[in-house]
Amino acid sequence: MSPAEALTRLRTELGPIDHSTDTRKLRTKSRDLFGQSPVLRDLLRGHNAEIFIAPRNKEELRTAVAACARHRVPITVRGAGSGQFGQGVPLSGGAVIDVTALTGVLGWHGDRGRQLPRSVRALTGTVVADIDAEIRPSGWELRMHPPTAQKATVGGYIAGGHAGVGSCQWGILRDTGNITALEVMTVEEHPRLIELRGRDVNTVHHAYGANGIITEVELPVAPAWEWHELVISFPEFEQAARFSVDLCHSDGVLKKVVSPHAHPLPQYFTGLAGLIPEGEAMVLVMAAVQSVPNVEDLVHANGGRIRYRCLEGKGSYGVPLYEFTWGHSLMHYQRRDPALIGLLALFPKPTLYESIVRVHREFGELGPLHVEMKRIDGGLSCQGSPVFGYEGREHLAEVIERLQRAGLSIVNSHTPLLGAGGMKPWGQREAAFKRDFDPYGLLAQGKADDVLLAERISTSTALPNTGWSYQLSN
C-alpha cells in the first residue's frame, strides 16, 4: 500500500474524529519553538505532517492510534508546541495527533479525610497551570513546572521537559520521586493502556513520545506557600553567584526560582531593565513569604539590593517572574538580538561557585553568563552558559569543547535526536520499551537511536558534546 493510499484509508476510519489535511494547519501544527536554535531552524524547515488529528477523549485517541497502526502511518504526539528541541516536529510526515482536548484533573491520591494528598493525577492535555489552579485552594501545588506553565500541557512537560520552576528545591523531573506514575498507550492495532511506576517512569520521561503515548500523569504535590517575587541587583556577578549558591545551600529557605544573569543581560528584558542599574548583575528569586527575611539577610551579606518585590504574578512586568527564567530567558535575549544563543552546560557540584566564577571570567569575551540553579542527583548544581552570537557550527563546536575543558558537561540542544542530545539516556531498557509499546516503530520516527536514524539529521546536528550522566534514578 502506498503512503497516499494509507492516508486515504486512515481518513475514512477516523470517521467523526476531528482531522485535517489543510496545508496551513499542517504547517502550524508541525512546529514548536525550535526556531530559537539556528541549527534547527535550517534543519527542520519544511518538515510537516500529512494529516492533523485532534481526538476529544481517550477513546477517540485509541481509535486514531489503532488506525495509524493498521496503516503504518507515523505518529508525532503534540501538546501545546512549547518544546524547544524539535520534539513536536514530524521528521517523516505521517500524523500529528493533538492531545490538548484530553484535559482534566482526575483526582488526588492520599489521605483525603485529612485533605493531605500525596499526588495529583491529570489527563495528558491538561495545562500545567490549570492543575495548580484546581488544587491550590486546598493548600497544595505541584513541586515544579516549566516556565511555560500557562500554556504547556502536563504530558508535553513530562515527554519533553527536564526541570524547571521548583528544581532549585526539589531537583529535576528524573530524580527519584518527582514523577509518581504515568499511564501510557501503546501503538498497536489494539492499543493497550499501561501503568508505569517507580523507575519505569524514566523510560518514557523525556523520550519525546518515542516509546509510548502518555495519556495520564500523576505527580507529587507540595504545600502551596504564598510566593514572593524578588528582583535583586549586585554590583558584580561574582556577588550574584555567591548569593545564589548560598541561598540554594540554605535548605531551610523555601525557594522556587534562583536565576542569575550577568551584565548586560538584565537590560535585555523589556519588563525588568528599568529595575536594574546599568552595569549590575541580576538574580531573579521566588521565595515563600516566611523565607523572605532569610533571603534579605543573604542579599545584604553579599552586597546586593532588592530592587522590586511583589506577590507571585502581581509584578509590574505583567507576567509571573518565572517567565523570565529557564528557556524563556533566551526568548527575551533574542528579541534584542536574534543571533544570540546559549548552551545547556551542567556545572560540577563539588566546585560549583568556583566553576561559575571561572566561566564568567574566562569566557567574558564570548558573552555574559546566565545560569539556572537546580538540584540534581541529590546535590546542588546549575545549568546554563555564556550567551553569545551564533557564528556557525564550527564556532559552536569550538565553544562546546572549551567549556568542557573548563569542567562543564554539555548536552546538544541543537538537535532533535535523543541520542545525539545527551540529556536522555537511551539504552537497552528504553529500546525494549519501544519495541513493546511501539512494535512498528511509528512514534517520533527518526528521533530515537533504534528507529530510522536519518543520516542527514545526525550529521548536520553533530557536536562534540559529552552529554549528562545520572548516578541516581537510573
Per residue in 5-15, pLDDT tens?
888 899 999 99
Q: Is the predicted pLDDT of residue 347 greater than 90, yes or no?
A: yes
Q: Which is nearest to 225 in space by CA: 294, 152, 312, 167?
A: 312
Q: Check if the beta carbon of residue 3 is closer than 8 Å to that of residue 34.
A: no
From residue 14, alpha-carbon distances to 19, 66, 76, 125, 297 in Å are 8, 10, 17, 20, 61
Secondary structure of residue 232 in the 3-state scheme = strand
Coil vs helix vs strand at 225: coil
Mean pLDDT of 126-140: 95
How many other β-carbons are positioned within 10 Å of the β-carbon of residue 294? 17
pLDDT digits (tens, 9 = 90+) for 254-309: 999 999 999 999 999 999 999 999 999 999 999 999 999 999 999 999 999 999 99
Mean pLDDT of 202-215: 96
Query: How does the average pLDDT of the chain come out, rounded?
Result: 93
The C-alpha cell of 330 is what?
Answer: 533566551
- Model confidence at 4: pLDDT above 90: no
In angstroms, the CA 18 to CA 1 distance is: 24
Question: What pLDDT is recorded for position 236?
Answer: 98
Residue 452 and residue 441 in contact, taking contact as beta carbons nearer than 8 Å: yes
User: What's phi and psi for 365, nearest 5 deg?
Assistant: -70, -20
For position 453, what pLDDT does the model report? 47
- What grid cell was written down for 450? 533504534
pLDDT value at residue 448: 84
Query: What distance in Å separates the CA atoms of residue 64 and residue 286, rounded to the nearest whole number?
Result: 42
Judge whether residue 330 has pLDDT over 90.
Answer: yes
- Other Cβ atoms within 10 Å of 312 Cβ, number: 15
Domains and CATH numbers, the chain: 105-223 (3.30.465.10), 227-311+343-411 (3.40.462.40)
Cell representation of residue 42 = 535550517
Compute the distance between CA of residue 409 and CA of residue 206 in angstroms, rounded to an integer: 18
Integer Cα distance of 220 and 218 in angstroms = 7
pLDDT score recorded for residue 326: 96
From residue 104, alpha-carbon distances to 121, 130, 215, 319, 323 in Å are 9, 9, 11, 24, 24
Q: What pLDDT is stored for residue 110 in this prediction?
A: 60
* H helix intervals, 226-339: 237-249, 292-301, 327-336
Read off the pLDDT of residues 13-66 as tens digits, 9 standing for 90 and up: 999 999 999 999 999 999 998 889 999 998 898 999 999 999 999 999 999 999
pLDDT digits (tens, 9 = 90+) for 81-98: 988 888 999 999 999 999
From the number of C-beta atoms within 10 Å of its C-beta (0-12, 13-18, 19+), residue 244 rates as buried
Reply yes or no: is the peptide bond before residue 264 cis, omega within 30 of 0.
yes
- pLDDT tier at 117, thresholds 50, 70, 90: low
State how far the Cα of 184 lies from the Cα of 217, in Å rounded to an integer. 9
- The one-letter code for the residue type at 181 is A
pLDDT, tens digit (0-9, with 9 covering 90-100), for 158-173: 999 999 999 999 999 9
pLDDT for 324 beyond 50: yes
Phi and psi dihedrals of 114, rounded to 5? Answer: -100, 5
| Mean pLDDT, range 436-453, rounded to an integer | 82
| Helices 352-362 and 237-249, packing angle to 10 deg | 160
pLDDT number for residue 406: 97
pLDDT-based confidence at 231, cuts 50/70/90? very high
Q: What is the mean pLDDT of residues 208-217?
A: 96
